[in-house]
Amino acid sequence: MSSEAAEQDSTKNKSLPPEARQRAFQEELMSLLDLVGVEPLVDLLLERAFQLGATDIHLDPREEGLVLRLRLDGMLHDILHLGANYAPQLISRIKLISGMNITEKRLAQDGHISNAMLKNNRDVRVGSGPTIHGERIVMRLMPDHSQFNSLAQLGMNPTQIEAVNRAISTPHGMILSVGPVGCGKSTTTYSCLTELNSAERSLVTIEDPVERRLEGVNQIQIDNKIKFGFVEALRGVLRQDPDVIMVGEIRDSETAHIAVRAGLMGTQVLSTLHAGDTGSTLDMFREFQIPRMFLADSIKCIIAQRLVRKVCTKNRETYAPDQATRQILGIEPDNAQVIQLARGVPADSNFHTGYFGRTGVFEVLSMDQELRQLIVSGKPGRPVYELSKEKGMATLEDCIKEKVLEGVTTIEEMLRVLM
């Protein structure tokens, strides 16, 4: 296949609807295997993965060859099985354009495909490592830096948006986004940062890696190879008159102490943390040995979140919930006959899963005087969490139930995410 023909196919596939693109991608890769070299295959793989909205590309070695998989809507899908004869060429090509040592196959390596090499101006972070069947490659597709979501687009309800905006308007203190890996914490933090981005403020981010480029924001990439980590970067930034600092992740006690003190000294700090919910976030800071008074005064808002898959809008059906489902969702018997839930119908449009796209579900804890008093008195995170619920905080479970009842997601997805 000539480069001109491949370009024509690329233009044609871009015009296809999503349901046809996924099938076309599989067929296109299969047809190219014996007709073109490895270089065009890698380029096509990256281009189509971006078009499909994939977040990761996995090249997993097996005894019989290499398995190509894409992560779509948080779930991995097998796309193609490549013969053992293709694996060395494909791995070497990806390592070469990622700036890795192609002769080193015994150690894990990190690489980067810059946006200058990609037509759609997107970065790709690459990691390689040895397995018993050969080298493995995982490519993380960075988000489109030109696209930012409002809090409403992320999936927050009006009450939660109001609470977050109130915290954002405070000139100092900490706003934390918490949850497991891959739950959208960074996206939420970037949305808050975008709201704060103005010419009157000095904004700095400290990230690993820099996921999105922001006009008007000073963005710092940490580099542990030269011992320039979050702690070193944060100490330096605090001497540079910042109004807003975004710390990509609080990973250790020292970073936590510096971030909390920055929030107390008049700087607004945005960051992320691996915690289960809003209450457990407070317990994690206790593990970091943060004084209770500092903790109570510095934290303004904690946003816990998860991502749930959305029912496909093109191929879906409604049904009446059974008794067990009604009990889980808290549906009153009087409403049992009128409430209809939605579920997807497996089709090409949703990669035969019944789902297409994801939305966030949130739990927003806004700090007030009563909650601060609980923290200062030494109470753990659970009593603070329970008091917040009494004051009207919608929990993660409440928000997922709401989206199930609205037909946005399914009861099965709710159980998968909450378990």
CATH number of the domain at 374, please: 3.40.50.300
Find the mean pLDDT for residues 222-234: 91
Task: Give the distance, in angstroms, between the CA of residue 334 and the centroid of all CA atoms in the same chain.
Answer: 39
Residues 90 and 112 in one domain: yes
Query: Is a pLDDT exceeding 60 seen at residue 255?
Result: yes
pLDDT digits (tens, 9 = 90+) for 353-404: 999 999 999 999 999 999 999 999 999 999 999 999 999 999 999 999 999 9
Residues 118 and 254 in one domain: no
Residues 28 and 112 in one domain: yes
Residues 292 and 414 in one domain: yes
Residue 304: HSE in the Cβ half-sphere, 13 Å Cα cutoff: 22
Residues 196 and 101 in one domain: no
Instruction: List residues bridging with 249 in a β-sheet.
Output: none
Domains contained in the chain, number: 2
Highest mean pLDDT out of 141-145, 161-165, 213-217: 161-165
Contact status, residue 142 vs residue 121, Cβ threshold 8 Å: no
Q: How far is CA 226 from CA 88, 230, 256, in A?
A: 31, 12, 21
Residues 241 and 336 in one domain: yes
The fraction of the chain above a pLDDT of 90, given in percent, is 70
pLDDT at 8: 45
Residues 134 and 166 in one domain: no
Residue ending a domain, choose from 78, 110, 141: 141
Residue ending a domain, choose from 141, 160, 186: 141
DSSP 143: -
Query: Is a pLDDT exceeding 90 seen at residue 136?
Result: yes
Residues 157 and 135 in one domain: no
For residue 244, tell me if it sits in a domain.
yes
CA angle 103, 109, 116 (to 5 degrees): 95
Task: Quote the CA–CA distance of 289 and 256 in Å, as a whole number.
Answer: 9
Instruction: List residues bridging with 175 in a β-sheet.
Output: 270, 301
pLDDT digits (tens, 9 = 90+) for 296-313: 999 999 999 999 999 999
Task: Quote the CA–CA distance of 347 and 257 in Å, as a whole number.
Answer: 50
For residue 342, tell me if it sits in a domain.
yes
Task: Quote the CA–CA distance of 408 and 399 in Å, as a whole number.
Answer: 11
pLDDT at 80: 84
The CATH number that applies at residue 26 is: 3.30.450.90
For residue 234, tell me if it sits in a domain.
yes
Looking at per-residue pLDDT, the higher value among 156 and 144 belongs to: 156
Residue ending a domain, choose from 79, 107, 141: 141
Contact status, residue 98 vs residue 18, Cβ threshold 8 Å: no
Could you tell me the pLDDT band of residue 11, with boundaries at 50, 70 and 90?
Answer: very low
Tokens of 312: 């496909």
When the pLDDT of each residue in the chain is averaged and rounded to a whole number, the result is: 88
For residue 231, tell me if it sits in a domain.
yes
Task: Quote the CA–CA distance of 273 and 19 in Å, as a whole number.
Answer: 36
Residues 179 and 31 in one domain: no
3-state secondary structure of 266: coil
For residue 146, tell me if it sits in a domain.
no
Q: Which domain holds residue 74?
A: 3-141
For residue 229, tell me if it sits in a domain.
yes
Task: Quote the CA–CA distance of 157 and 250 in Å, as a whole number.
Answer: 27
Q: Tell me the one-letter amino acid at 77.
A: H
CB within 8 Å of 285: residues ≥ 6 apart: 256, 260, 295, 299
Contact status, residue 193 vs residue 235, Cβ threshold 8 Å: no
pLDDT at 126: 95
Residues 135 and 163 in one domain: no
3-state secondary structure of 269: strand
Q: Which residues of 93-124 are buried (b: 16+ CB within 10 A; e: fewer)?
A: bbbebbebebeebeeebebbbeeeebeeebbb
For residue 355, tell me if it sits in a domain.
yes
Looking at per-residue pLDDT, the higher value among 28 and 256 belongs to: 256
For residue 405, tell me if it sits in a domain.
yes
3-state secondary structure of 306: strand
Task: Quote the CA–CA distance of 79 and 33 in Å, as a whole number.
Answer: 14
Residues 20 and 85 in one domain: yes
Nearest by Cα to 113 from 131, 132, 130, 93? 93
Helix (H) or strand (E) holding 246: strand 244-247
Residues 16 and 129 in one domain: yes
- Residue whose structure tokens are 């597709």: 141
Task: Give the distance, in angstroms, between the CA of residue 332 and the centroid of all CA atoms in the same chain.
Answer: 35
